[in-house]
Amino acid sequence: MSALETLGLAALRRIDPERAHGLAIRALQMGLGPRGGPFTSARLATTVAGLSLPNPVGLAAGFDKNATALHPLSRCGFGFIEVGAATPRPQPGNPRPRLFRLTQDRAAINRFGFNNDGADAIAARLAKRPKGGIIGLNLGANKDSADRAGDFAAVLATCGADVDFATVNVSSPNTERLRDLQGKAALAELLAGVMAANLHRIPIFLKIAPDLSDSELVDVAEVATAAGIAGIIATNTTLDRAGLKSAHRGETGGLSGAPLFEKSTRVLGRLGALTTLPLIGVGGVASAEQAYQKIRAGASAVQLYTGLVYGGISLADDIVRGLDRLLERDGFTSLEQAVGTGRADWA
């Protein structure tokens, strides 16, 4: 991390977290972020669900909700980028404050509630996306929708022409009863609608919660496979608050960051024993070693977001290069060789 980035992070941590996030996006738009591209090597380059990635470290949804920083983010070292979540109609989300830093726990709690500019505005920005690279969109549902399952298909129909993949997000804890759509029958119906709307035949991923029981994971794996889903993203934020120390630990919303690492990685390991679908590991990744643990637990790629709050935007490149060294250290000539080699530790 450069001295300038260190100073910038220190300044951002002194102001309201949501305002700090907005300023971070603005700084990227002004060209204050990295200016290179994603680091790659023969070990790191990989293919996930037909997507050719220069490296397996992606940006999770939520950082660039409205696809306003695609060009600068494409220069920040990520092997792929996911924007959104997008809903059919614009919505303001939940009242502020709705984002809280848990510095002592290296974590965050958010209850944004799918605040975004709506599918039409986001589609217009995606149409001007940078050439090359892999960009995906997280699909969401409007809070007041009469047909939430149909909302996911509607967003895909609006935006699908200009993204390389899409993610069905039924696991956010911040829209009331949204997680009910993870039930077996409801999920099968929802996914059938999304797949029917997938006119551009892009890979569709399913993002799940870390709070599912073993039997619910069995159902998710079965339904996702039957529906033709390309892979599963494990996991979204958690409602668990065990072991937290920070002052904001009692806030409602989804917990992300360091406390989520073990829980999300265990879900990842269990899923690897239930399905042959590609898995993307998310939750608490803030170092190359943690990314490597996710991969050895069964992830073909990883994503990060909250780690950037504490490690800065240069963290992505640091993780990518460190991961390359770890693969070399252990004698792997390709990322694929390492996937799942440590699953027994987590399943």
Which candidate, 163, 117, 161, 124, places its Cα nearest to that of 140?
117
Tell me the torsion sign for CA atoms 143, 108, 134, 227.
Answer: negative
Longest dimension (CA), the chain: 53
Q: Alpha-carbon distance 250 to 247, whole Å?
A: 8
Q: Which of 172, 246, 287, 300 is catalytic?
A: 172
Distances in Å between the alpha carbon of 332 and those of 52, 98, 167, 180, 272? 19, 43, 30, 41, 20
Q: Which two tokens stand for residue 342?
A: 């440590």
Q: Which two tokens stand for residue 43?
A: 């070990």
Other beta carbons within 10 angstroms of residue 104's beta carbon come to 12
Q: Alpha-carbon distance 87 to 180, whole Å?
A: 18
Which candidate, 162, 71, 68, 177, places its Cα nearest to that of 123?
162
Query: Which residue, chain included where needed, has tokens 């984002």?
Result: 99
Active-site residue flag, 300: no
Give residues with Cβ within 8 angstroms of 274, minimum separation 6.
217, 218, 221
Q: Which two tokens stand for residue 14?
A: 């002194």
Q: Which backbone phi and psi does 267 adopt, to 5 degrees?
A: -60, -45
Side-chain-facing half-sphere of 317: CA atoms under 13 Å: 17
Residues serving a catalytic function are 172
